[in-house]
């Protein structure tokens, strides 16, 4: 039994070294935002999609590009606009005069890492095409199903402030994102460093891959073996149940959300060089995993934005749940 525990610790230590290398690479571009970078890496290891939501100009797109360039995987950036069609995203069948048959021409969605920039600017019809890809790992065109490259990760960005010309994401699509990440404004020292670096060059141009697809798969496999005590599972389920029973919420956490937090906690433990989860893993991830899945009852609405209202309710719920010792 002791040898088994030792092997688990060795695997966790090897995974941690790879994760630290990836985080260090991304932080050559993104300064002063270690938590945001760590959360994006957690989603990558846990096999989830990421929604980066913040005001313009704080580095949403840059963070997604930095992650993509640090991985030896195929990458596509898709600028979502109101006139973007589903076929522009997934591809379409084109008639070949030479063969007399229709041939499928793949769209930009056929890449390992997808940056869906300003996702809320495209129509619900195009959003639904992305939904199938995120949920199923394949797309369907004229009755034919085409698998997407694996691993497959969607990193979507959106501005929560601007509403003109936008189409808010429906709850079903928000639920497909494992994590919602916020970057926030940089501190003065970090912003000073950005000014000095960007005056001479773009650090993105110098970023090189530090991890390949096989290593990503290996990290995901190791993460599934991270131990989660029954007391922690009970703690997680009590939080989930409280969101479903709260009179302040019209929509609580779905079973998909429960599983997302469980997997994210395993991945977070791995990024902290542990082969087991602790209560802080759950507490640290509750907000980024759960808040965007909740809908606040209109009777309790305030001047806060929807996301801020949900976070306020979730904070009150967490206070009522005893943390396991």
**Residue 20 within a domain:** yes
What confidence score (pLDDT) does residue 306 get?
66
What confidence score (pLDDT) does residue 136 get?
86
Identify the burial level of 194 via C-beta atoms within 10 angstroms of its C-beta, where 0-12 means exposed, 13-18 middle and 19 or more buried.
middle
Residues 6 or more apart whose Cβ sits within 8 Å of residue 227: 8, 275, 276, 277
CA–CA gap between residue 85 and residue 110 (Å, rounded): 16
Nearest alpha carbon to residue 46 among 213, 237, 266: 266
What confidence score (pLDDT) does residue 120 get?
87
What confidence score (pLDDT) does residue 127 get?
86
pTM of the entire predicted model: 0.90
* CATH code (residue 126): 3.40.50.300
Parent domain of 117:
2-226
For every one of its 325 residues, what pLDDT tens digit does the chain have, with 9 covering 90 and above?
Answer: 555 566 777 777 888 899 999 999 999 999 989 999 999 999 999 999 999 988 888 888 899 999 999 999 999 999 998 899 988 999 888 888 888 788 888 899 999 999 999 988 888 888 888 888 888 888 888 778 889 999 999 999 988 776 666 778 888 888 999 999 999 888 999 889 888 888 888 888 889 999 999 999 999 999 999 999 999 999 999 999 999 999 988 889 999 999 999 999 999 999 999 999 999 999 999 999 999 999 888 776 665 566 688 888 999 999 999 998 8
Distance of CA 93 to the CA centre of its chain: 31
**Residue 85 within a domain:** yes
**Residue 243 within a domain:** no
Nearest alpha carbon to residue 215 among 297, 112, 288: 112
Q: How many domains, in total, are found in the chain?
A: 1
Q: Rounded to a whole number, what is the distance in angstroms from the first to the last CA of the chain?
A: 24
**Residue 218 within a domain:** yes
**Residue 273 within a domain:** no
**Residue 292 within a domain:** no
CA–CA gap between residue 38 and residue 119 (Å, rounded): 22
Which runs of E-coded beta strand occur in the chain? 49-53, 71-72, 75-79, 91-96, 101-106, 113-117, 138-141, 144-147, 153-158, 177-181, 211-212, 249-251, 295-296
User: Dihedrals φ, ψ of 83, to 5°?
Assistant: -100, 10
What confidence score (pLDDT) does residue 152 get?
93
């Amino acid at each position: 039994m002791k040898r088994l525990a030792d092997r688990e610790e060795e695997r966790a230590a090897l995974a941690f070294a790879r994760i630290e290398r990836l985080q260090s690479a991304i932080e050559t571009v993104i300064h002063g935002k270690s938590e945001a970078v760590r959360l994006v890496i957690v989603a990558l290891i846990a096999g989830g999609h990421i929604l980066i939501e913040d005001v313009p100009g704080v580095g949403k797109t840059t963070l997604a590009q930095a992650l993509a360039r640090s991985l030896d995987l195929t990458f596509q950036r898709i600028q979502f606009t109101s006139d973007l069609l589903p076929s522009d995203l997934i591809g379409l069948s084109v008639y070949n005069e030479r063969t007399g048959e229709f041939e499928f021409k793949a769209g930009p969605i056929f890449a390992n890492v997808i940056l869906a920039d300003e996702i809320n600017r495209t129509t619900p019809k195009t959003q639904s095409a992305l939904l199938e890809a995120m949920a199923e790992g394949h797309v369907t065109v004229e009755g034919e199903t085409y698998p997407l490259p694996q691993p497959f990760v969607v990193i979507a960005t959106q501005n929560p402030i601007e509403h003109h010309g936008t189409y808010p994401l429906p709850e079903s699509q928000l639920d497909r994102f494992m994590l919602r990440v916020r970057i926030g404004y940089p501190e003065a020292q970090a912003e000073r460093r950005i000014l000095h670096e960007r005056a001479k060059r773009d650090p993105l141009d110098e970023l090189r891959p530090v991890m390949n697809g096989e290593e990503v798969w290996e990290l995901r496999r190791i993460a599934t073996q991270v131990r989660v005590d029954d007391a922690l599972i009970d703690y997680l389920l009590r939080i989930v149940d409280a969101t479903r029973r709260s009179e302040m919420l019209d929509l609580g956490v779905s079973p998909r959300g429960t599983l997302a937090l469980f997997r994210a906690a395993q991945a977070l433990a791995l990024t902290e060089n542990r082969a087991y989860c602790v209560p802080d893993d759950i507490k640290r991830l509750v907000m980024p995993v759960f808040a965007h899945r909740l809908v606040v009852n209109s009777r309790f609405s305030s001047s806060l934005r929807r996301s801020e209202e949900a976070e306020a309710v979730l904070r009150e719920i967490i206070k009522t749940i005893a943390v396991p010792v």
